Amino acid sequence: MMMAMPNSIPKFENLDQENKHLREELTQLKEDKAKVIEKERWISIGRLAAGIAHEINNPLGFVQNNLFALDLYIQNFSQLIQNYHLLLESIAHIPEVKAALTKLKEIEKSLKIAENMVEINNAFTQCHDGLKRIENIVKTIRNFSQNESVSEEETEPYNINICVENAIILTKTEHRYHTDFITDYGDIPLIECNPGKLTQVFLNILINACHAIREFHSPDQQRGMIMIKTKAVRNQIICEITDNGPGIPEEIQNHIFDPFFTTKGAIGTGLGLSICTDIISKHKGEITLTSKLNQGTSFIITLPQ
């Protein structure tokens, strides 16, 4: 009497399902691991930035103090010289004084003292402006580094226009020689958000745009352009970032936000826009893009008020 063979098909089906489940879990683990590494990288960058800001801030302080002191001293000397001139002019009727005054004026003219005083004042003004810009950059780096150490769950009422402006300042080295920024900040309300994380989103998008523009526009062509516009529409805050770079081919646009997808070859991690999507999603917002080849790309970020 022959025994019936057990039906093994359900077992194979179960194995297929288990294998599929294991593959999905492995993919998720890889993605989670990559995001943790990327997060640690940003935290490390934040710590490094804080150290650099601290090192810059110390010499910046005494340079500013010394410059203010020098500026004051020059003004005092200028005032003293003017009073000497008034005194000499008042006694110019004395022949010996008149001859000395004429000689003094010839010397001042040959040395271009009047022009030099104007140039000195201009130089001090430019130095003060330059140091103020450095101070703003240091302040922005400090804020960014502090926000990187803040938990993702911590939020506060904040104006995202400030986040955008901070991202632009941090992107200066990427766009100074080849890209112009045009900003159109709307009158928008404060929203409950994590400013550091939103700054990270804007920074990532701006750096990507700068890299694309730099590769697309040769030095003899017109400069690149990135326009940032913010506005409040129907209980939503909208930020649109548009560049005139090479655009994104239509066949890969659906993959731009996928983890590990990159168009930068070996130098890209493929996590930047994926993390941006995650950050915006945690703010209950949305990030989309429109792009045309050789015409540019627009990223539209929508956040609830």
The strand pairing partners of 274, in sequence order, are none
pLDDT confidence of 101, banded at 50, 70, 90? confident
Q: 256 with 287, same domain? A: yes
Phi, then psi, of 222 in degrees rounded to 5: -65, 150
Structure confidence by residue, pLDDT tens digits, 225-267: 999 999 999 899 999 999 988 888 888 877 777 766 566 554 4
Question: Could you give the angle at which helices 9-90 and 272-282 cross, rounded to 10 degrees?
Answer: 90
CA atoms of 155 and 283, how far apart (whole Å): 10
Is residue 254, in this structure, part of any structural domain at all? yes
Tell me what pLDDT residue 64 has: 84
Domain that holds residue 233: 152-304
Is residue 32, in this structure, part of any structural domain at all? no
Is residue 33, in this structure, part of any structural domain at all? no
Among 141, 171, 188, the domain-final residue is 141
Q: 84 with 205, same domain? A: no
Residue with more model confidence, 270 or 174? 174
Tell me what pLDDT residue 266 has: 47
Is residue 230, in this structure, part of any structural domain at all? yes
Q: Report the run of H or E that residue 181 belongs to, with start and end.
A: strand 179-184
Domain count, the chain: 2
Is residue 281, in this structure, part of any structural domain at all? yes
Structure confidence by residue, pLDDT tens digits, 265-302: 544 555 578 888 888 988 999 999 999 888 889 999 99
CA atoms of 239 and 78, how far apart (whole Å): 51
Residue with more model confidence, 6 or 78? 78
Tell me what pLDDT residue 151 has: 57
Average confidence (pLDDT) over 170-184: 81
CA atoms of 248 and 256, how far apart (whole Å): 9
**Rounded to whole angstroms, what are the CA distances from 128 to 69, 123, 133, 288, 300?**
12, 9, 9, 42, 37
In 3-state terms, what secondary structure has residue 2?
coil
H helix runs in the chain, sequence order: 9-90, 95-110, 113-148, 160-170, 172-175, 195-216, 272-282
Structure confidence by residue, pLDDT tens digits, 114-165: 888 888 888 888 888 888 777 777 777 776 665 555 556 678 899 999 999 9
Q: Is the pLDDT of residue 303 over 80?
A: yes
Torsion of CA 253, 257, 260, 262, to 10 degrees: 40
Tell me what pLDDT residue 254 has: 79
Largest CA-CA distance found in the chain, in angstroms, rounded: 148
Residue with more model confidence, 243 or 93? 243
In 3-state terms, what secondary structure has residue 224?
strand
Provide the CATH number for the domain around residue 253.
3.30.565.10
Is residue 25, in this structure, part of any structural domain at all? no
Phi, then psi, of 161 in degrees rounded to 5: -60, -35
Task: State both tokens at 167.
Answer: 């991202």
Is residue 225, in this structure, part of any structural domain at all? yes
Q: Is the pLDDT of residue 203 over 90?
A: no
Is residue 134, in this structure, part of any structural domain at all? yes
Tell me what pLDDT residue 34 has: 64
From the list 167, 161, 202, the residue with the least C-alpha distance to 185 is 161
pLDDT confidence of 85, banded at 50, 70, 90? confident
The strand pairing partners of 180, in sequence order, are 225
Structure confidence by residue, pLDDT tens digits, 4-56: 555 555 665 677 777 777 777 777 776 666 666 656 666 656 666 666 776 77
Q: Is the pLDDT of residue 190 over 90?
A: yes
Q: 77 with 108, same domain? A: yes
Structure confidence by residue, pLDDT tens digits, 61-77: 878 888 888 888 888 88
Residue position matching structure tokens 């997808």: 261
Among 141, 175, 208, the domain-final residue is 141
Tell me what pLDDT residue 83 has: 86
What value does the mean pLDDT of the chain take?
A: 79
